[in-house]
Chains A and B, each alone.
Chain A
Amino acid sequence: MSEPVTGITTPIRMEYRYTPGRTTSDFLKAMKGGRMEGRRCPSCRKVYFPARGGCSMCGREFAETVPIKETGTLATFAVVNVNFANRVIDLPYVTAEVVFDGADTTTMVLLRGVSPEEVRMGMRVKAHWIPKEEWDYSLANIDYVEPIDEPDAEYDSYKDLV
């Protein structure tokens, strides 16, 4: 007799149909058109990017749409060296938390064009988009950010976003 079967692995799969709300629909439409859009809180005046429906700190609904620049400051980052299920990016890679110019929130994006040892807080970066014909309703239209030839931002200018 062979060994008794005490357990089996049964991979499962679930597919979702995602229906965005009003603000996210507008945001994703702008991304498909190659535009980065944020929303400003009428109370604290902070700009959220990606755009959201309201300010999670003040509880106020947003009304004003604000254009966000493709350049920004790397507030903080991690160098990922660990393998995991569902991983699609080659190791090691750098996840950068970028404050795009015009925004008051950080966005996690992939950093390329610099070796992990040379990455530092305060670096100035610019978004690199996937080819225009592939643009979709997605933040993933921004393929990665890469360093630009500008002096690092002063720590005080981004320290509250670290």
Chain B
Amino acid sequence: MSGKLAAVLGTGQTKHVSARKDVSIAGLVREAADRALADAQLEWKDIDAVVVGKAPDMFEGVMMPELYLAEALGALGKPMFRVHTAGSVGGSTAVVASHLVQGGIHERVLTVAFEKQSESNAMWALSIRIPFSQPLVAGAGGYFAPIVRGYIRKSGAPLDTGYKVVLKDRLNALKNPFAHVHDHEITYEKIAESPLLWDPIRYAETCPSSDGAAAMVIGSEAAAAKQDRPVAWIHGTSVKSEPTMGAGRDRVNPHAGRMCAQEVYKEAGITDPFRQIDCAEIYVPFSWFEPMWMENLGFAEEGTGWKMVQDGTTSLTGEMPINMSGGVLSTNPIGASGMIRFLEAANQVRGMAGEHQVPDAKVAMGHAYGGGSQFFAMWVVGSEKPTS
């Protein structure tokens, strides 16, 4: 832990759906922020500053939306900060907010992330024509499918590993009232028979397109002392990035992700992540990224992450539960998706995760990645104050 102590005092999120036609973007973020304040039992006047994150502005076609959202987020006359790190932004936004408290600048910071995918077309925004290349890339799936094929070849993982990840996450989502996809009829067979969109990725192995927002109030040690409800202490944070295109770059197991994990573990005093972390919410927009990130995060040896999927280690009742909330595979308001991971990790150690609570979770990890697997953000939170 570096700097002063900081803790998550309250969290809030919207019920994620494919189209929230009843609210504007401002109404959407306000809903999540109101819930975070209510959970923290605080009022708008208690907030010193606001940190906002979302994925690229082209996803809704509203440039610099933070300017227009200042009023909805109670930021008039208060410092407001916008974070941009593609799909990892929800995570790095929370990290920036926590640093404002750890650095002793503010007592209580509200952090909010969102996406309202129904207002535009993210796949179009990700498939733009660049003047000197071929018009080939078909959204994020088109970019990541060859990398997934690379992982399957390198690890020798059975082809149904991805199906098992989806089945687990979608069943977990049934325990989370805020998750977007609630598919009570899901079966292994239905996943295995769903169409191949970007071979080797099947339709059922991809994340939905969601409207949603997430918010947290992060406060100082003194602010945390005044809380009646449990808080989540921030034990470590890290943000790292690497170039998208580089000769010799490992896209399956990116260097920046490994460095980010090393840094966050060092700060949190973790030497054996598999043993010391009770559960994790990690950014898995396509099923195969679960085993890939298990390796990148050091939960599994390189080439063996798929075994933890196959043997149930990552299930809600397994030794290392992953994506208890249903994960990005069940809910994907892109800009908010990283923050939901961080928020769910916080709720786990607060003992407030509801039906998808891991019993006695004391230490949890939140993880997000973005761009061409080049932006990473992570935090480790605990039920107790950090000792290191």
- Where the two chains meet, the residues of A that have a C-beta atom closer than 8 Å to any C-beta of B are 6-7, 12, 16, 18, 20, 24, 27-28, 31, 41, 44, 46-48, 50, 52, 55-57, 75-82, 84-89, 93, 95, 97, 104-105, 108-110, 116, 121, 137-140, 142, 155, 159-160, 162
Contact = CB atoms under 8 A, between A and B. Distances in A.
A84 B129 CA distance: 13
Given A78-B201, A95-B136, 20 more contacts: A48-B247, A56-B245, A75-B150, A78-B145, A79-B196, A79-B199, A80-B197, A81-B195, A81-B198, A82-B142, A86-B129, A86-B135, A89-B136, A108-B133, A108-B134, A108-B146, A121-B149, A138-B132, A142-B134, A162-B154
In the A-B complex, the 10 residue pairs with the closest CB atoms: A78-B145, A46-B247, A56-B243, A79-B199, A162-B150, A85-B124, A56-B246, A76-B146, A82-B197, A57-B246
A81 B133 contact: no
B371 interface: no
B253 to A, nearest CB: 11
Contacts of B147: 76
A7 B21 contact: yes
A116 B196 CA distance: 12
B190 interface: no
Contacts of A86: 124, 127-129, 135
A78 B132 contact: no
A162 B153 contact: yes
Contacts of B157: none
Interface in B121-142: 121, 123-124, 127-129, 131-139, 141-142
B249 A57 contact: yes
A24 B130 CA distance: 13
A153 B61 CA distance: 45
A55 to B, nearest CB: 7
B252 interface: yes
B121 A85 contact: yes
B142 A95 contact: yes
Interface of B: 21, 61, 121, 123-124, 127-129, 131-139, 141-142, 145-147, 149-150, 153-154, 195-201, 243, 245-250, 252
B134 A6 contact: no
Nearest to B145: A78
A78 B199 contact: yes
A109 to B, nearest CB: 6
B149 A78 contact: yes
Given A78-B199, A81-B195, A121-B149, A139 B248 contact: no
Contacts of B196: 79, 81
Contacts of A57: 243, 246-249
Contacts of B145: 78, 95
Question: Which one of A6, A20, A76, A160 has the highest number of Cβ atoms from chain B below 10 Å of its Cβ?
Answer: A76
A26 to B, nearest CB: 12
Contact of B247 (A27, A44, A75, A108): A44
B246 A77 contact: no
B149 A28 contact: no
Nearest to A91: B138
A28 B132 contact: yes
A139 B246 contact: no
A19 B49 CA distance: 40
B261 to A, nearest CB: 20
Nearest to B61: A12
B154 A159 contact: yes
Contact of B149 (A18, A24, A76): A76
Contacts of B139: 82, 84
24 contacts: A6-B21, A46-B247, A46-B248, A56-B249, A57-B247, A75-B150, A76-B150, A77-B149, A78-B142, A80-B138, A81-B196, A82-B138, A82-B141, A84-B127, A85-B121, A85-B124, A86-B129, A95-B145, A95-B146, A105-B247, A110-B134, A116-B199, A140-B133, A140-B134
B93 to A, nearest CB: 26
Contacts of B252: 162
A48 B133 CA distance: 15
Nearest to B245: A56
Nearest to A76: B146
A67 to B, nearest CB: 17
A90 to B, nearest CB: 13
Contact of A77 (B127, B146, B249): B146
B159 to A, nearest CB: 14
Nearest to B141: A82
